Amino acid sequence: MSTKSVTKQHPGCKECSEQQYAEIANIIDLYKDREGSLIQVLHLAQEIYGYLPLDLQIFIADLMDIPLSVVSGVVTFYSFFSTKPRGRHTIRVCMGTACYVRGGKKIVESLKDKLGVDVGETTEDGKFTFEVARCIGACGLAPAMMIDDVVYKQMNVNKLNAILAKYDNE
């Protein structure tokens, strides 16, 4: 599918990049006839585009010839899909039982203040997306927090500034 035909099909898309949509269209061509391929297509589309806005969901539904409600249902059901732009780094504070009782909530409240965002939001500068997790599997290190794939153990609010400073030059 050519880039020209992609933008002709969806001229209302204000956020889309023609090249990104062309890449996604090629992926859909490869997967659309395979049973159960929607999740794979969505993963790859999010990898290319960064997130899955409604216009992109409509595009995928149209090209895969499935209802938008099915695409949207999958996107909203699974936590690893995002409908909003995400930060370069993802901060996850564990709120499992061990982390919660050892101060996880204080860490969440402190990060809300320091980052100026609520849980589920991305900072204005696009540096961080802030989330909570039910459990990150580090109960013995509670309270724990992750930034991307790095786990920070035995967290307290006094450690936050130094940890966040590590990401200032990126």
DSSP assignment letter at 16: -
Q: Please, where are the H alpha helices in 32-87?
A: 38-49, 54-64, 68-77
Cβ pair 145, 91 in contact under 8 A: yes
Cβ pair 54, 84 in contact under 8 A: no
pLDDT at residue number 3: 37
Mean pLDDT of the chain: 88
Specify the 3-state DSSP secondary structure of 72: helix
Pick from 40, 42, 50: which is nearest to 20 by CA?
50
Span 75-86, average pLDDT? 87
Residue 10 has pLDDT above 60, yes or no: no
pLDDT at residue number 12: 44
Share of the chain above pLDDT 70, in %: 90
Q: What is the CATH number of domain 89-165?
A: 3.40.30.10
> Tens digits of per-residue pLDDT, 104-115?
999 999 999 999
Query: For 41-60, b where at least 16 C-beta lie within 10 A, e where not — what string?
Result: bbebbbebbebbbeebbbbb
pLDDT at residue number 16: 57
> Domain map of the chain by residue range?
3-77, 89-165
Share of the chain above pLDDT 90, in %: 71
> Tens digits of per-residue pLDDT, 16-39?
588 899 999 999 999 988 888 999
